[in-house]
Amino acid sequence: MSAQLLTDETPAPETPKPIIKSADMADEMQEVAIQVATEAMQVADAEEKDIETALTSTSDKQIAAHIKRAFDKRYGPTWHVVVGKNFGSYCTHETGHFLYWYMGNIAILLFKAG
């Protein structure tokens, strides 16, 4: 009989694959958006083992704030970000500065206006 090593640690969950729903944005900028969102989701997930449990409305706001700050810094103001599981939107954006995508069941809307 072989002994098994049991630990309380479980592997970190994988960040869900992004699914682009609508884009008016350069591919490079889309890649940055997904990278920044992935980083933000991993920070939100740091204390939770299940990413869906971790993404509460509070962490949705934190994710949105993280993305907005990163895009304002990298591409100049004024970016707007909406993160959540259930929302509607109707917005005007600067040409070439709009991305709407899902990561798991979390929708992210990123656009520049103003």
| Amino acid letter, 68 | K
Q: Residue 5's pLDDT is what? A: 47
Which pLDDT band, with edges at 50, 70 and 90, does 6 fall under?
very low
Record the pTM.
Answer: 0.80
Contact present, 67 and 38 (Cβ < 8 Å): no
Per-residue DSSP letters for 21-43?
Answer: EEEEE-HHHHHHHHHHHHHHHHH
| Ordered structural domains, the chain, with CATH | 19-112 (3.30.740.10)
